[in-house]
Amino acid sequence: MTLTSAVATARTGARVARVARFAVLLWVGFGVQPAFAHGFAGSGWLHPITGIDHMLAMLAVGAWSAQLGRRAIVTVPVAFVCAMAAGSLAAIWNIAFAATEAMIALSVLALGVAIALDRRPALPIAALATALFGLAHGWAHGSEIPQTADTSAYVVGFLVTTAGLHVAGAVGGLLLLERRHGRRWLRAAGIATAIAGVGLLGVQLG
């Protein structure tokens, strides 16, 4: 192994370690123990992975944060998860949120475009954009909580899964960026995500 490749490997390891620490903090912060105490939040933890729109958006948030780098790798996903929690509470309290499904489809399109363009907006703008989408995702999740479910445990469940999807997207993005032409591949993934978002949005508006 050459000195250059050793340095590159060390940098990759350091970045992945930072993301892993972030995952642990989220896991603890959102209360994994209460989730496990209720059978891992009933089926709440499954909810984000039962819809392709939710999965694509959440993975894209993580990938975009990796592409942005520095503080964005934590700030952007945290903004999404916090806004998602607020959105779920709005749904639980019967606060209306218009065009939720269209907004979710738009989030897939917009995040895909952001990754494809590979631009670096100011961190507050990136966090605000993801937070707005997080509100819509959270409202959708909160409005679909079964009446027989433990509401708080269900919410914890889908927030933990959301954080996990963010981490998966971020780690994948970081590993891609360390590879030759990895930035191009990440942008290509953004284009594919944007195309999927166009299809999802067409379904909602059709």
Q: Write out pLDDT tens, residues 169-200.
A: 999 999 999 888 889 999 999 999 999 999 99
The pair of three-digit structure tokens given for residue 70, joined into one six-digit string: 């520095």
Q: How many whole angstroms separate alpha carbon 181 and alpha carbon 31?
A: 39
- pLDDT, residue 43, reads 61
pTM of model > 0.75: yes
- pLDDT, residue 143, reads 87
Q: How many whole angstroms separate alpha carbon 163 and alpha carbon 60?
A: 12
| HEC secondary structure over 97-129 | CCCHHHHHHHHHHHHHHHHHHCCCCCHHHHHHH
- pLDDT, residue 27, reads 44
Write out pLDDT tens, residues 87-139. 999 999 989 888 889 999 999 999 999 999 999 999 999 999 999 999 999 99
**Would you list the DSSP string of 131-145?**
HHHHHHHHHHHHHT-
Lowest-confidence region among 5-19, 40-54, 149-163, 192-206: 5-19
Amino acid at 40: F
Would you list the domain boundaries of the chain?
Answer: 15-205
The pair of three-digit structure tokens given for residue 112, joined into one six-digit string: 């895909």
Number of H helices, E strands in the chain: 8, 0
From the list 112, 24, 16, 23, the residue with the least C-alpha distance to 63 is 112
